[in-house]
Structure 1
Amino acid sequence: MVVNSHNSIDLTASDIISMSDSFQESAILQFANTSGLFELLKEPVTAETISQSKGWLLRKTTLLLNVLTSLSVVVKSDDKYSNTPSTNRVLTKDGPGYVGALIEHQRLQWQLWSKIGEVISSEEPIEGQQELKLKKDPHANDAFNQAMLQLSKENIASIVALPEMEGEKYILDLAGGHGTYLSAIAKYNPHITGQVWDFATAREAAQHVFADYGVENQIEFREADISKASSYEGVKADIAMLNDCLHYFEQETVVQILSQVAGVLRKGGTLLITTIYMDRDCVTPAAAAGFSFYMMMNTAHGQLHPTPWLVDQMENIGFNVEVRNFGRVGTKGGKYVLIIGQRK
């Protein structure tokens, strides 16, 4: 592999083959996760013990455990296998950084990703995309909501600590899904009230989160489509949040949403947007380009929008805008940013 510039790499044949082979590692990890294998590997056990517990053939069970060891998610000592510390932390249900629901959400997309040609040729949602799948597949809907909840955990403390969250405020968590951001804010500040807006498929997950945080008397769930102007009629708020949701819409719709949100904010109000950072070239960082295509595959109108473009639109509408780094995403130079807009 030879790097020619910031976004041009001369790949070798070996690089291309490795890229094509990478699906195998994903399939192995996802199978181990959904089968509950990591729950059985919290303590060292033999392949025979796993084989008997799961009803798998011993020879093939051993091969699975060996390849998981080669992928550094399992360790082998003599004839026994166990999770690595990081696997116990993020791939067992009682681990503090559990992301198993996210892995399951990705596993459920295998059939969809065999339909790239169909997706790229259709203006309408196709079978397997979120607009259709989440409404009729309870397991997929639960995996999606739990995955989004898990992804939000790393950002919650930073959002709660913002000075804008002090005092008596009414907050809208738009396309807020599971409602964890607003729930955490409301728990921290008992003077906070507000609503989480999303589709009906998110209601149950959000209400569970409200109860877990003990904030049912401060916030409520509202079924609302943030892309519809009618949703905003008669609404006023001090803060509005658009966390990881603008990538569900095309640019024209994003501009409309930002304008509608600006209209409901009181003078001096705050708009908070969390998003994966993308340059204007829509190619860098590589993680951003990959996520943009991922959104195209999962939704009929999805794509990631360049962060400088979002800032431009907010300034045009009448916001004073600040962009803050918010953490890393993946291993390909990706990063989260928090965009803060103050209504003039």
Structure 2
Amino acid sequence: MASSPDPLEPVRGFMKSRILLTAAELDVFTALHDGPLSAEQLAEKTGTDLRALSRLLDCLVTFGHLAKEDGAYRLTEEGAVFSARHPESVLPMVLHMNHVWDNWHHLTRTVQEGTNAQRKAPTASGPESLKAFIGAMHVVGRNLAREIARSLDLSPYRSLLDIGGGSGTYTIAFLEENPSMRAVLFDLPDVIPMAQERLAQARLLDRVTLVAGDFYNDELPSGCDLALLSAIIHQNSREENRTLFQKIQRALQPEGGLLIRDHIMDSDRTWPAAGALFAINMLANTAGGDTYTFEEVAEDLKWAGFRHVQWIRKGARMDSLVLATS
């Protein structure tokens, strides 16, 4: 007879997570990028206590992120992507999760009071934290952006307005799949140089106009026939989204489209499961952010003057798509 699941297993899950976050914060994986090192060598390289680091490394072996042979540790394929030098590195997102960990620490009080008065924005520590956050968003979005771009027929549209477009992850994917399309990428002044660098690497800079601004305080660039809000609405309250939708309505050409990519919840707010969990993440990390049902999103879009609101892709990840017409 099969044994019953251990009810404490999910409770202990934070232990593994904390070990991986600490190893990433200490940059253990990057330190091993060029080849195996002993615990002594790693302790010297990372500036850590030998005994404590050894226990951390041995746990990483049991997780499958490191291998241990003749007293030396080396990266496995699973651990290699945590190195900053891996071409598909996930390290920026892991370091972002380290920040998220700090805000989740106050979750009990947040649920009691309704808001996290102790939260710190991921970009609050200056330019380096902003760069890390934008890098994290690229890590989590790069493969999905390509998948979504390939799944959509955007042939009716000629110009994309990517609002809060970060370093251009979705702009790049959409332009690569639609050779006749041009784009305007709108984001904060400190983000625009990151977008310029990534667009130049993708050899798409000549098809993109970069505009600096703050969509909470500024009007949006006008003249495009398709606007994109990719992973934006969850960080806002419904009131903030309504204001933003109105700005987009004013900026778009007549009959233009607004494409929203985000968690879109079913009416009882329990599907997708990842969206229910992400709602807690927004509770811990934002003033009024949330994940929204299709009915809520449609109501707010129609309030702002949009028509023909459609849930065109129902995704279990943050890959649902809503399309509306201005």
TM-score range for the pair, normalised by the shorter chain length: 0.7 to 0.9
Contact 2:222 2:253 in 1 (8 A): no
Aligned ranges 1:3-82 → 2 under 5 Å: 15=7, 17-42=8-33, 43-82=35-74
Aligned ranges 1:88-237 → 2 under 5 Å: 88=80, 90-116=81-107, 121=113, 126=117, 128-130=119-121, 134-161=123-150, 164-166=153-155, 169-187=158-176, 189=178, 191-227=180-216, 231-232=219-220, 235-237=222-224
1:122, distance to aligned residue in structure 2 (A): 7.3
1:20, distance to aligned residue in structure 2 (A): 4.3
Q: 1:168 to 1:271 in 2, by over 3 A?
A: closer
For residues 159 and 22 of structure 1, the distance between their equivalents in structure 2, rounded to whole angstroms, comes to: 31
TM-score (norm. length: structure 1) = 0.79
For residues 53 and 191 of structure 2, the distance between their equivalents in structure 1, rounded to whole angstroms, comes to: 38
Unaligned segments of structure 2, at least 5 residues: none
Q: 1:24 to 1:260 in 2, by over 3 A?
A: same
Contact 1:135 1:201 in 2 (8 A): no
Q: Give CA-to-partner distance per residue, 1:41-71, whole Å, 9 cap, x none.
A: 3444433332343344443332111111222
Unaligned segments of structure 1, at least 5 residues: 1-10, 327-333
1:101, distance to aligned residue in structure 2 (A): 0.4
Aligned to 2:75: 83
TM-score (norm. length: structure 2) = 0.82
Contact 2:157 2:225 in 1 (8 A): no
Q: Which moved more, 1:109-118 or 1:73-82?
A: 109-118
Aligned to 1:281: 268
**SS of residue paired to 2:319:** strand
The amino acid across from 1:319 in the alignment is H
**SS of residue paired to 1:284:** coil
Contact 1:102 1:150 in 2 (8 A): yes
**SS of residue paired to 2:292:** coil
The amino acid across from 1:286 in the alignment is A
The amino acid across from 1:79 in the alignment is G
For residues 254 and 216 of structure 2, the distance between their equivalents in structure 1, rounded to whole angstroms, comes to: 22
The amino acid across from 1:246 in the alignment is I
Q: 1:325 to 1:256 in 2, by over 3 A?
A: same
Of 244, 248, 251, the residue aligned with 2:231 is 244
Give the structure with the larger strand fraction.
1
- Alpha-carbon RMSD across the aligned residues, in angstroms, is 3.2
Aligned to 1:331: none
Q: Which moved more, 1:310-319 or 1:267-276?
A: 310-319
- Percent identity reads 22
